[in-house]
Amino acid sequence: MAMFLASCGSTDGPSVVIQAENFNRGTVTIDKGEHGYGQGIGVILTFKPSAFAEYDIEIPKSTNYSVEIRCASAGPRPVRVLVDGQLVTEHGAEGTTGGFLPEHQKWLEGGVVSLTRGKHMLRLESDGVFPHIDQLRLSATSKAVTTKS
Ligand SMILES: [Ca+2]
C-alpha cells in the first residue's frame, strides 16, 4: 500500500508524511486512545522491550532526506532507524518531550539519508521500549547524510 504523499511548502522540496500507526509490518501496539496515549492522533507504543515497525514508502525525488519522528516520551527511548536494511542512526527520537500524552508530542530527529526516487522500506526498531510515536516525516534537505554512530 502506498503511503500518503504530501506536497509541502518547505523551500527544500517534497516531504513524505506517514502516520506511525499505519505500519505495514510490526510488533508494536497501536493506541488510538484505548490505552490512554493516542487519543485523537493514533500512536504506536510498546509494552515489552524489543519491537519493530516497518513502512513501505514511495520517495518522489532522488535527494537527501531528513527523517523526523513525532513522538512523546518522559524519558530517553531512542530507536534505531534503518532504510532498506541500512542503519541511518542508533539515536532516532532520542531525548525527552516532557511526558507520554498527545499534548507532549514533539518532532525529534531521526537522521539524514540519501534516497533515490521510488520505493523504499523504512524500519524503526528498539531492543528497549518505544517512545509513543504519532507520525514520521521525510523531508528533502541539503543536510549531509548522517554518519553511523
Ligand atoms: Ca498518528
Whole-model pTM above 0.75? yes
Distance 79 CA to ligand 1 centre (A): 17
Q: How far apart are CA 113 and CA 56, in angstroms?
A: 16
Question: Does the domain at residues 5-141 carry the CATH identifier 3.20.20.70?
Answer: no
Distance 21 CA to ligand 1 centre (A): 6
The three-state secondary structure class of 125 is strand
- How many whole angstroms from 58 Cα to the centroid of ligand 1? 18
* Cα 1 to middle of ligand 1, angstroms: 17
- pLDDT of residue 2 exceeding 80, the answer is no
Counting every residue written for the chain, the total comes to: 149
Residue 4: what pLDDT? 54
Chain-centre distance of CA 39, in angstroms?
19
Distance 19 CA to ligand 1 centre (A): 4
* 88 alpha carbon – ligand 1 mean position (Å): 22
Short-list 139, 111, 140, 107, CA closest to 124: 111
Dist CA 63 CA 74 (whole Å): 34
Tell me: the pLDDT tens digits for 91-130?
999 999 999 999 999 999 999 999 999 999 999 999 999 9
Spacing, Cα 132 to ligand 1 middle (Å): 10
Q: Could you read off the pLDDT of 10-45 as tens digits, one per residue?
A: 455 899 999 999 999 999 999 999 999 999 999 999
The predicted model gives 77-84 an average pLDDT of 98
Domain boundaries, the chain: 5-141
**pLDDT for 67 beyond 70:** yes
